[in-house]
Structure 1
Amino acid sequence: MVTSAADAQTAPLRVVSMNLCTDQLAMMLADEGQLISVSDIATDPNMSPMAEAARAYPINHGQAEEIFLMRPDLVVAGRYSDPVVLDMLRRLGIATAQIDIVSNLDQVSDRIREMGEILHQTARAGELADAFEADLARLRAAPTGPRAAFYYPNSYSLGTGTLSHEIITIAGFRHIAEEMGRSRSGRLDLELLTLAQPDLIIHAELYSGNSRSEEVMSHPALAHLGAMRTQSNADWVCGTPVVLRAIQDLRALRARMEG
């Protein structure tokens, strides 16, 4: 939704994005020169699948003062972006638009079209959304494959109401969170994980150095399970067409696991 005293019917010519997921959608859809800044995290390859493309844009750190000095006529943000920053920008007469997060892959095309309306790039957004829906339908598989679990530092695990759950089940894996009735994400005791005996454990890339939060990832009990292990990466973070790569990678992994 666009919020401003400015004319919402006029196509924005100077757009700033201050959220990783809106960064990606804006880079996919904006006209040349229309997008003038993306968030600093957009250039981090550990978090952003479009880090190389993002380096072509000036970055912002999500601060009202620096964004105001860029003279945007529209700022796009996420549903949970800093409300104080957005309120200040609106009081300074700058239009803002917020896009909700994606927890279901069927919502991706909606977000694409929403960004297309915000940027006045509806035809381009429609083509991208249609292509995404066709590719998703082609990749969709019944969740009858190996059983998978998410396990991150501090024993954090993902529930069924997440984008990552959608990614693995559409790729054909079964998620142990469904068996456990875990709709929400949160701590999963190592004992419960080992009792569940998943065939695949998915974790984030471990960083170099010493971190007590990551010690659980090398616990002997995990090695004793004998489960295959793989990593989630930047392709999993946002509900954009990039998630198709994550699904393709998992489908290939499932084929190897099933012989």
Structure 2
Amino acid sequence: MWASVRSSSLAFMLAAGLAASVPAWAEPAPARVVSINLCTDQLAMLLAAPGQLRSVTMLARDPSVSVLAELAQGYKVNHGKAEEIYLDRPDLVLAGRYTAQTTVNMLRDLGIRVEIFEPAQSFADLRADILQMGQVLGRDRAAAEIVAAFDTRLAQLQAKQPEGPRPVAATWSARGYMSGSQSLAAEIISTAGYDHLAERLGRKGGSFLPLEALVLADPDLVIEGHSRAGHARSEEVLAHPALHVLTGRKAAVQTPDWVCGLPAVLDAVEGLRTGQEGAQ
């Protein structure tokens, strides 16, 4: 069911992006755009005009972290190296705040325009990133339409908040990492009708929560991080026997919808909401 929800919402956003006309600009929109960050990969794929986006990272094709993995199959991939990017002759490179600074500096020294995008820590950041991408690609109208569609769907979800006391949810990833109360994950959780354990513990930023503390808190829902085949030892905590004493659910797993600030975060909200309703 979630595949159909996600595919229909992405189809709408892509149609809006491709149908929107390009506004008048003081200078031409970039024609050879390269993305070297997973989140800018997906923002650009949502918004770029046909033929405008020339290359995305290999991660964009990984369905465990990318909601647009199938669409990314139609793009050339890059490995984020300055040399290969330069040879592609881009007139715009899209990067994240934590993209290797040496790569960014080298590209700028070569006279290539590099636009930096901040990681989305909230729905407000998500909107800002979409609008920024629209602005740098010359696709302002398409970006505004996607934001409007996001806000419409968000309002519909907020109007259907579950009644009664709010259950508590906690994220739980490799090495016991828990997202903070001021994070994109926290807003997903709150919109779905849960209180985030991090907020109750006063942890604004992401932090590592000892297994004992998680067991003592005994949240109603533990949202586990995605575990890959051949996982590292840091992920062994996700299968620790002590987790079996938790009285709440431990069925939810963070999907690609949680990774970047994209409209697909509302698919994550719906996934949590459906699980909550099924548990009542």
TM range (shorter): over 0.9
Question: 1: CA distance between counterparts of 2:236 and 2:76?
Answer: 37
**Partners of 2:108 and 2:210 in 1: CA distance:** 45
> Per the alignment, do residues 142 and 197 of structure 1 end up closer, same or farther by CA in structure 2, a change over 3 Å counting?
same
Deviations along 1:132-178, one digit per CA (max 9) or x if unpaired, are 11111221237943211111121211111211111011110111111
Query: Hey, what does 1:208 align to over in structure 2?
Result: 229
Corresponding position: 1:67 with 2:85: yes
Q: What's the CA shift for 1:210?
A: 6.0
Q: CA deviation at 1:65?
A: 0.3
In structure 2, the partner of 1:167 is 188
Matches of 1:182 and 1:111 in 2, distance apart? 25
Aligned pairs (5 A) from 1:10-29: 10-29=28-47
| In 2: Cα distance, 1:109 partner to 1:21 partner | 13
Distance 1:215 1:24 in 2: 30
- CA shift for structure 1 position 220: 2.2
Distance, in Å, in 1 between the alignment partners of 2:84 and 2:231 is: 35
Say which SS state the counterpart of residue 119 (structure 2) adopts: coil
- Counterpart for residue 9 of structure 2: none
CA RMSD of aligned residues (A): 1.7
2:248 paired with 1:227? yes
Supply the distance in 2 between the matched residues of 1:44 and 1:113 (Cα, whole angstroms): 25
What does the per-residue CA deviation read over 1:45-75, in whole Å, with 9 as the maximum and x for residues that have no partner? 1111100101100001111100011111110
Counterpart residue number, 1:149: 170
Matches within 5 A, 1:1-259: 9-140=27-158, 141=161, 144-209=165-230, 211-229=232-250, 230-258=252-280
User: Which residue in the other structure is 2:15 paired with?
Assistant: none
SS for the counterpart of 1:56 is coil
* SS in structure 2 at match of 1:10: coil
What CA deviation, in whole Å up to 9, does each residue of 1:195-215 have, x standing for no partner? 111111111222333643222
Partner of 1:169, secondary structure, is helix
The 10-residue stretch of structure 1 (215-224 or 94-103) with the greater mean CA deviation from structure 2: 215-224
User: Residues of 2 paired with 1:26 and 1:212: CA distance?
Assistant: 35
The answer on whether the counterparts of 1:142 and 1:170 sit within 8 Å (CA) in structure 2 is no
Change (3 A) 1:192 1:97: same
The more displaced of 46-55 and 102-111 is 102-111
Any conservation in 1 of the 2:82–2:106 contact (CA below 8 Å)? Answer: yes
Instruction: Point out the more displaced range, 108-117 or 142-151.
Output: 142-151
TM-score (norm 2): 0.86
Call closer, same or farther: CA 1:147–1:156 in 2, change over 3 Å.
Answer: same
Paired with 1:212 and 1:111, the residues of 2 have a C-alpha distance of 35
Total equivalences in the alignment: 252
How big is each residue's C-alpha offset from its partner over 1:188-247, in whole Å with a ceiling of 9 and x where there is no partner?
Answer: 111111111111111122233364322222222210113211100111000011111111
For structure 2, the 5+ residue unaligned runs are: 1-24
* Partner secondary structure for residue 231 of structure 1: coil
In structure 2, the CA distance between the partners of 1:35 and 1:167, relative to structure 1 (3 Å rule), is same
